[in-house]
Amino acid sequence: MERELWSWIMRAIRDVSRTTRDTAYHTHGTDKIVRVYLWAVLHDRPTCWACDRRAWDRRTRPERLPSQPTMSRRLRSVAVRRFMQRLGRRLNGRLPSRHPLFKVIDGKPLTVAPHSRDRHATWGYGAGHRARGYKLHLVDSGKPMPEHFAVTTLKVAEARVARRLVPRLTGAGYLLADAAYDDDRLYRSAAATGHRFVAPRRRQYTGVYAGKPFHPDRLRAVATLESNPPLGDRFGDHLMHIRRQIETTFGNLASFGAGLTHLPPWVRGLCRVRLFVHAKLLINAARIRRLRA
């Protein structure tokens, strides 16, 4: 399976490298740096492992491998991040979404051990209990790559990150979330991008006070999710059923050998975690492209 995934990844890397102009200052191109790093992440090994010729076979090994210090320096560059963003758009391709009118926003905790010396990992709420680590926030539309994503420490509230992600949305439709995102500012922000935000209230069936300045879309969400629907009208249940499919997305992200199951011991610090999660999302996108081919 890893060899099949790698063929899809290499095809996308070649396509992106044809449209990317690299500086002559570097001995190794940005495409090679990303290639070596994805090889390490695909096999759940540290970056230094992929800098050793013995970690490759004859068909996959580049002619010349960068050193570990070179990898460490170049992986922090803007050029690598931009290349990986273009790689994600290439892996998305033109595959249609499962639900073209619906997008879902949610978060996935990425915990570390409580005794970890990682100075960036923070305590927060994750998976029903307090934990220490980071969190992946994403907007999913059913495509191989999420519409937008962010990685923060675990203490950062999901609604706070959503206020950064929602204004970047394009198109139109519904944006679905759980009760943690019940914030009037998100309703206003989603409406400005052409989306109707729908999230259940933290305390449902408590009434709506006339003097409270609720956004009209928030009032519609309350009416859709909390009123007794007429016979045969289960639109609110349908919306929440689609919202719960984000759990399937997170499950599929961790359900294969190279998936995002946990943070390995050599991935610590916010910058490294962000790069590692981005690489795992790219690998998962290649897996989805292979399955839908």
**Span 87-117, pLDDT tens digits:** 999 999 877 777 789 999 999 999 999 999 9
pLDDT (0 to 100) of residue 233 = 66
| In a shared domain, residues 86 and 136 | no
| In a shared domain, residues 169 and 198 | yes
- Look at the pTM and tell me if it is higher than 0.85: yes
- Residue 173 belongs to some domain of the structure: yes
| In a shared domain, residues 119 and 190 | yes
| In a shared domain, residues 41 and 116 | no
| In a shared domain, residues 142 and 76 | no
| In a shared domain, residues 39 and 169 | no
Strand 122-126 and strand 129-140: pairing? antiparallel
- Residue 163 belongs to some domain of the structure: yes
Distance CA 211, CA 89 (A): 45
Containing 74, the helix (H) or strand (E) segment is helix 68-74
Domains held by the chain: number: 2
Share of residues in the chain with pLDDT > 70 (%): 96
Two structure tokens written together for 271: 């910058």
Q: Considering all CA atoms of the chain, what is the largest pairwise distance in Å, rounded to the nearest integer?
A: 71
User: Domain range holding 12?
Assistant: 2-92+268-292
Two structure tokens written together for 70: 């070179």
| In a shared domain, residues 13 and 126 | no
pLDDT (0 to 100) of residue 2 = 79
| In a shared domain, residues 106 and 231 | yes
Confidence class for position 26, pLDDT limits 50, 70, 90: confident
| In a shared domain, residues 191 and 279 | no
* pLDDT per position as a tens digit, 208-258: 665 567 899 999 998 899 877 665 568 899 999 999 999 999 999 999 999
* Three-state secondary structure call for residue 115: coil
| In a shared domain, residues 88 and 112 | no
Between the alpha carbon of residue 17 and those of residues 10, 26, 46, 83, the distances in Å are 10, 15, 24, 8
| In a shared domain, residues 78 and 111 | no
Q: How many CB atoms lie within 10 A of CB 157?
A: 16
The pLDDT of 24-38, averaged and rounded, is 92
| In a shared domain, residues 66 and 137 | no
> What does pLDDT average to over the chain?
92
Q: What is the CA radius of gyration of the chain?
A: 21
- Residue 263 belongs to some domain of the structure: no
